[in-house]
């Protein structure tokens, strides 16, 4: 089979399209023929060496496709099931393994490719808006990268929960997408100081929570956007890692909260995974949650896909198609 392999860390050029052995499922695993694999920034961090992974490796943990073989102890899925999972072992490939207990059978109303586009980022948006800081109609939130893969879903879920949503984007085109996703106000951070504009929009009160996936370039001003006892949810670092933080700043700025959550801790059990995925896939099935696929690349063009993702030229999800 064909797969993307990384033999050394570096730029997108280290993503090699190679022929490899097709994996064989263990007792609790299922082998899935991948119809689409989702790109996520964690694969950029792994490729560059920011997150350490043993070399060589096949990137990717998110995909959707069809079960073609199961292990002897598998009861959760059967051959022929359309499935998705955030827990594949190397989804940048024509075939990939996943523990059967981490697989989700797709409802009839959800297309396979859309499931690959929505699952990991949908689960992320769900835990952010429903658990890390559970939004309701009394809250105002600020969503950075509001037209990105997570951002568009987060704006929609925040809107569904009744919150007032302020989004930041880089272009007018992305601003329109954020508004369509439920953002009540949109700030073009390339033209405006987003902290000052957030203060203006809230009558200088600040927001209850900032959802920040950007990191280094937004962190300090994100703190300035918060109301007293507000929470900064730092769930990514697309602009680079944040440096050391003096906790005294949190006190001085209004007894603030800072958290650095990760999806794995919110879907650690199968029960948690099923509950969150059922909500996300249910919203997709009934049309409450709309998924935007920004670009599709053939698997062999993974380097080009990473280049687009890193340059933040995408609005929505990027998929690899084997």
* Distance separating alpha carbons of residues 141 and 208, to the nearest angstrom: 6
* Distance separating alpha carbons of residues 181 and 135, to the nearest angstrom: 16
Q: Tell me the pairing of strands 257-259 and 29-38.
A: unpaired
* Distance separating alpha carbons of residues 55 and 272, to the nearest angstrom: 31
Neighbours of 44 (CB within 10 A): 18
* Distance separating alpha carbons of residues 295 and 62, to the nearest angstrom: 16
pLDDT for the residue numbered 18:
98
Yes or no: say if 250 and 225 are a contact pair by the CB < 8 Å rule. no
* Distance separating alpha carbons of residues 240 and 78, to the nearest angstrom: 42
pLDDT for the residue numbered 314:
79
Task: Supply angle C-alpha 28, 29, 32, rounded to 5.
Answer: 155
Q: Could you give phi then psi for residue 298, rounded to 5 degrees?
A: -65, 150
E strand or H helix at 185: strand 185-188
105: which 2 tokens?
Answer: 């059978």
* Distance separating alpha carbons of residues 198 and 167, to the nearest angstrom: 9
- Half-sphere exposure (CA, 13 Å, Cβ side) for 32? 38
pLDDT for the residue numbered 316:
79
Q: Do domains 2-119+269-321 and 136-260 have the same CATH topology?
A: no
pLDDT for the residue numbered 315:
78
DSSP secondary structure of 280-294 = HHHHHHHTSS---EE
First to last CA, the chain: 10
230: which 2 tokens?
Answer: 């507000």
Token look-up 């993503």 returns 15
**Domain limits, the chain:** 2-119+269-321, 136-260
Instruction: State in words which class domain 2-119+269-321 has.
Output: alpha beta
pLDDT for the residue numbered 313:
81
* Distance separating alpha carbons of residues 265 and 286, to the nearest angstrom: 28
pLDDT for the residue numbered 312:
78
pLDDT for the residue numbered 120:
92
Tell me, yes or no, if the pTM score tops 0.85: yes
Mean pLDDT by 10 residues, the chain (322 residues): 98 98 98 97 94 97 98 98 96 98 95 95 98 99 95 98 98 96 98 98 99 96 99 93 94 98 96 97 95 95 96 86 98
Using CA atoms, how far residue 95 sits from 71, 75, 92, 111, 321, in Å, is: 15, 20, 8, 19, 12
Q: Tell me the pairing of strands 29-38 and 63-70.
A: antiparallel
* Distance separating alpha carbons of residues 157 and 155, to the nearest angstrom: 6
* Distance separating alpha carbons of residues 303 and 298, to the nearest angstrom: 10
Q: How confident is the model over 79-129, as pLDDT tens digits?
A: 999 999 999 999 999 999 999 999 999 999 999 999 999 999 999 999 999
Q: How confident is the model over 230-245, as pLDDT tens digits?
A: 999 999 988 888 999 9
Instruction: State in words which class domain 136-260 has.
Output: alpha beta
pLDDT for the residue numbered 149:
87
């Amino acid at each position: 089979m064909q797969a993307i392999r990384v033999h050394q860390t570096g730029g997108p050029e280290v993503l090699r399209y190679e022929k490899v052995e097709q994996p064989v499922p263990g007792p609790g695993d299922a082998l899935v023929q991948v119809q689409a694999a989702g790109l996520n920034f964690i694969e950029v961090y792994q490729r560059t060496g920011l997150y350490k992974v043993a070399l060589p490796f096949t990137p990717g943990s998110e995909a959707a496709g069809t079960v073609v073989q199961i292990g002897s102890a598998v009861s959760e899925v059967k051959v022929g099931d359309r499935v998705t999972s955030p827990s594949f072992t190397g989804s940048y490939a024509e075939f990939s393994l996943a523990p059967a207990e981490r697989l989700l059978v797709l409802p009839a109303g959800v297309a396979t490719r859309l499931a690959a586009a929505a699952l990991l980022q949908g689960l992320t948006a769900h835990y952010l808006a429903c658990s890390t800081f559970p939004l309701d109609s009394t809250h105002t939130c600020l969503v950075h990268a509001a037209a990105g893969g997570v951002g568009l879903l987060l704006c929609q879920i925040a809107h569904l929960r009744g919150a007032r949503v302020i989004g930041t984007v880089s272009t007018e085109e992305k601003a329109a997408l954020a508004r369509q996703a439920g953002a009540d106000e949109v700030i073009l951070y390339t033209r405006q100081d987003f902290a000052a504009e957030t203060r203006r929009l809230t009558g200088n009160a600040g927001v209850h929570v900032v959802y920040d996936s950007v990191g280094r370039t937004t962190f300090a001003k994100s703190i300035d956007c918060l109301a007293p006892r507000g929470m900064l949810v730092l769930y990514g670092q697309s602009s680079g890692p944040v440096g050391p933080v003096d906790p005294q700043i949190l006190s001085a700025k209004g007894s603030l909260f800072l958290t650095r959550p990760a999806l794995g801790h919110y879907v650690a059990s199968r029960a948690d995974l099923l509950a969150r995925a059922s909500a996300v896939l249910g919203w997709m099935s009934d049309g409450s949650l709309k998924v935007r696929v920004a670009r599709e690349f053939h698997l062999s063009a993974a380097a080009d896909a990473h280049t687009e993702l890193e340059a933040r030229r995408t609005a929505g999800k990027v998929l690899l198609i084997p």
